[in-house]
C-alpha cells in the first residue's frame, strides 16, 4: 500500500511538471473538458484514491471514486485505559459525488455531496493483553465544499474539505480478561458518532 501511495504521488508530480502552461489552472481561456481522471490523497488518515469525473453540465460534475487507507500506528485513551495499535488496516471505500458550481464568475468554487460504501478497520491492544477490532462498514455520506478542479483540459488541481458520516462502527474483542467486554463497549461508545473530517488534495488531467 505504501508503494502504491508513493507511485501515485510521483505520477501527480510528473504530470504537473510536464504540463507547463496547462499547470496554470486559474487561466480563464482554457478549453472546456467533459471528462477527467484524477488521483487524490486525504481523509482522516493518510490515503490514496482514484477518481473519474464527467460533466453533466458546465456547472455540475459527477465523480466516481475509489480509495484505500495507508495504515498508521495510533494510540487512544478511553476512560483511563490506553489502547495502542493500527488505524486504517485493510480499509477502503468507493462512491459517487456530485459537485455543483453555484457562482458563474468563480467556477473553481464547488459545493459537494456524495454517498458510498466503506470498510474501515482498526486493531488495538490494551495493557492487559486484550485485543480489539474496530470496524465501521456500510453506507457513508459526504458533504463539503472545494476549490479548483475546473472542467478544463490539461492539469486540474483541487482541494476539498468536509465531513464524512458513517455508522460509527462496532468493536470486537478476544476477551482474555473480565474487563475486556466492558472496555470494548467503552471503545464502541467513544466512536459511536461516526463523524470523520476529510481534507482531500487532488491532481488530475482533463480531456
CATH number of domain containing 194 = 2.40.160.170
Per-residue pLDDT at 16: 43
Range of the domain at 109: 2-13+31-200
Q: How far is CA 179 from CA 51, 127, 176, in A?
A: 44, 11, 8
Q: How many domains does the chain have?
A: 1
Q: Which residues of 136-151 are buried (b: 16+ CB within 10 A; e: fewer)?
A: bbeebebebebebbbb
Contact 33, 201 (CB under 8 A): no
Q: Is the residue at 26 inside a domain? A: no
Q: Is the residue at 67 inside a domain? A: yes
Q: Is the residue at 129 inside a domain? A: yes
Cα–Cα distance, 96 to 90 (Å, whole number): 21
Q: Is the residue at 148 inside a domain? A: yes
Record the cell numbers describing residue 44, joined without a space: 482522516
The band of 190, judged by pLDDT with boundaries at 50, 70 and 90, is: confident
pLDDT tens digit sequence for 62-82: 999 999 998 889 888 999 999
pLDDT over threshold 90, residue 50: yes
Q: Is the residue at 194 inside a domain? A: yes
Map 97-124 to HEC letters.
EEEECCCCCCCCEEEEEEEEEEEEEEEE
Stretch 153-177: mean pLDDT, rounded?
91
Q: Is the residue at 79 inside a domain? A: yes
Q: Is the residue at 195 inside a domain? A: yes
Q: Is the residue at 150 inside a domain? A: yes
Amino acid at each position: 500500500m505504501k508503494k502504491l501511495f508513493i507511485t501515485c504521488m510521483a505520477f501527480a508530480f510528473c504530470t504537473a511538471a510536464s504540463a507547463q502552461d496547462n499547470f496554470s489552472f486559474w487561466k480563464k481561456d482554457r478549453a472546456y473538458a467533459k471528462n477527467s481522471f484524477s488521483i487524490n490523497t486525504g481523509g482522516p488518515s493518510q490515503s490514496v484514491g482514484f477518481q473519474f469525473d464527467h460533466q453533466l453540465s458546465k456547472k455540475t460534475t459527477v465523480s466516481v471514486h475509489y480509495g484505500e487507507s495507508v495504515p498508521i500506528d495510533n494510540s487512544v485513551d478511553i476512560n483511563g485505559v490506553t489502547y495502542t495499535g493500527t488505524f486504517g488496516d485493510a480499509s477502503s471505500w468507493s462512491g459517487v459525488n456530485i459537485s455543483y458550481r453555484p457562482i458563474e464568475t468563480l467556477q473553481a468554487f464547488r459545493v459537494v455531496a456524495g454517498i458510498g460504501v466503506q470498510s474501515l478497520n482498526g486493531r488495538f491492544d490494551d495493557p492487559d493483553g486484550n485485543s480489539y477490532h474496530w470496524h465501521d462498514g456500510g453506507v457513508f455520506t459526504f458533504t463539503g465544499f472545494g476549490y479548483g478542479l475546473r472542467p478544463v483540459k490539461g492539469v486540474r488541481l483541487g482541494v476539498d474539505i468536509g465531513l464524512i458520516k458513517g455508522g460509527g462502527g462496532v468493536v470486537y474483542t478476544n476477551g482474555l480478561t473480565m474487563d475486556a467486554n466492558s472496555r470494548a463497549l467503552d471503545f464502541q461508545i467513544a466512536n459511536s458518532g461516526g463523524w470523520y473530517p476529510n481534507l482531500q488534495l487532488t491532481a488530475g488531467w482533463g480531456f
